[in-house]
A and B are shown apart, each in its own frame.
Chain A
Amino acid sequence: MAFDYFANPARFLRLANAVLPWCVGATVILLASGLYLGLFVAPADYQQGESVRIMYVHVPAAWMAMFVYTNIAIASVLSLIWRHPLADLAASASAPIGAAFTFLALVTGSLWGKPMWGTWWVWDARLTSVLILFFLYLGHMALTHAFDNPARGAKAAAVLALVGFVNVPIIKFSVDWWNTLHQPASVFRAGGPTIHPDMLWPLIAMALGYTLFYITLLLLRIKSDLIGARLRTLDSLRQDAA
């Protein structure tokens, strides 16, 4: 199993070092072209005008918020069943990145809402769901770092992530029930996207760029966590020797 193969830290580090430059390059190209297409090439909306361009930052960020949380849930299953340290590292390294994307989605949503709704914040169903997701991220991060024993924090956070993941659809449904004000989904819809291709391409470029940016940060964070753990081991060995 590939997971077992990369379960060796030295091997993982070698692989991460080999992949990282490509990830960085692809991230830069995709984000630059996505932003260029979104801000200069794509047409302005006949109703919303130029402010519609926030969408190219906002919508993929909201997708990432969900995508990263799903990844944390998958890593948590791997951690609880196969008890693998790499899964714990991946989950704890993903959480702040996911929280940052969620925060970005909230802030850009609020900026977009000002010209559209005339107010910074509206308790509309989607913004509210994203806000709750942000709280789930914060809880996960706080629990990860709440214990003197890092392994305990990782395991506890894994249980929380799974409970949260079961709850996400319930929360989503209940918030939708509670208030539906936002426009209906327009990209992922049966019968293909209804959005104009000039608007779709920058969205796809931004989404891919975000994903690669996430992978880049994830690899970097896991790398630094591994090196940090090794330093602590060396430190305790030195103390034992003294």
Chain B
Amino acid sequence: MTGAGGIIARDLKLALRQRSDAVMIVLFFVLTAALFPFGVGPEANQLAAIAPGVIWVTALLAVLLSLERLFLADYEDGSLELMALSPVPLELTVLAKVFAHWLTTGLPLIAAAPLIAILFNMPVSALPILALAMLLGTPTLSLIGAIGAALTLGARRGGVLVPLLVLPLYIPTLIFGVSAVDAALLGFPVRPHLLLLAGILLISLVVSPLAGAAALRQANE
């Protein structure tokens, strides 16, 4: 366990000293969302109607953009081999790295989401549900993304490959993430949507370390 803690601490320290990476991701998130009013027009009601979808889709793309730093640097400088050989099980290493990744991308995105909600004229009453849905959904994005990032290590054009692998798997999270916020806006019960998001998170928590570790072992061969 101390080993996994050490990996989390190291990845956080690396992210903190290369702050610009995390800042770029949040900037991308806000900037991309800010493009939509230019695309669909500034009409307030229309923007409010598409706000949950825009927030989720852009958050998803922002996570996608950040996936490269999850394993690539460690793969290229030989760190990944040493992690695979260490007494810490590789599955636990994957979980630790994903957790650090979520802390440095998922959390900042959740913090920035209310800003976009306000820009899109979304009622403030739905903000707590938006935050809660993102709290349950963004870890899934990091977990599934880790599989894609690990599978494409050493591939030609790895960067363009990741979206192709990962985006279809993101769709359930997107659907329930948006429907939770929509339900809150329309005054319907939000519980089932949040429970489904939590269920998908639990499944990803099992699948991602197994598949991720298998993929990393293949990359190290």
Contact = CB atoms under 8 A, between A and B. Distances in A.
A234 interface: no
Contacts of A136: 168
A148 B154 CA distance: 9
Contacts of B207: 163, 166
Contacts of B186: none
Interface stretch (A7-15, A62-70, A110-118, A154-162): A154-162
A174 interface: yes
Interface stretch (B72-80, B130-138, B157-165): B157-165
Given A146-B152, A147-B155, A166-B203, A178 B175 contact: yes
A222 B51 CA distance: 49
Nearest to B214: A159
A167 interface: yes
Interface residues of A, number: 28
A167 B169 contact: yes
Interface residues of B, number: 28
A80 interface: yes
B211 interface: yes
Interface stretch (A48-56, A137-145, A193-201): A137-145
Interface string B176-189: 10010000000000
A231 interface: no
Contacts of B171: 132, 171, 174-175
B155 to A, nearest CB: 4
A87 to B, nearest CB: 15
Contacts of B165: 139, 142-143, 160
Contacts of B157: 146
A148 B155 CA distance: 8
Contact of B164 (A139, A155, A178): A139
Contacts of A163: 147, 169, 207, 211
Contacts of B221: 152
A143 B154 CA distance: 11
B156 A148 contact: yes
A132 B168 CA distance: 6
B159 to A, nearest CB: 11
Given A155-B218, A159-B147, A174 B172 contact: yes
Interface of B: 147, 151-152, 154-158, 161, 164-165, 167-169, 171-172, 175-176, 179, 196, 200, 203, 207, 211, 214-215, 218, 221
10 contacts: A80-B214, A135-B167, A146-B161, A147-B156, A159-B211, A166-B207, A171-B168, A173-B172, A177-B196, A178-B175
Interface of A: 80, 132, 135-136, 138-139, 142-143, 146-148, 152, 155-156, 159-160, 162-164, 166-167, 170-171, 173-175, 177-178
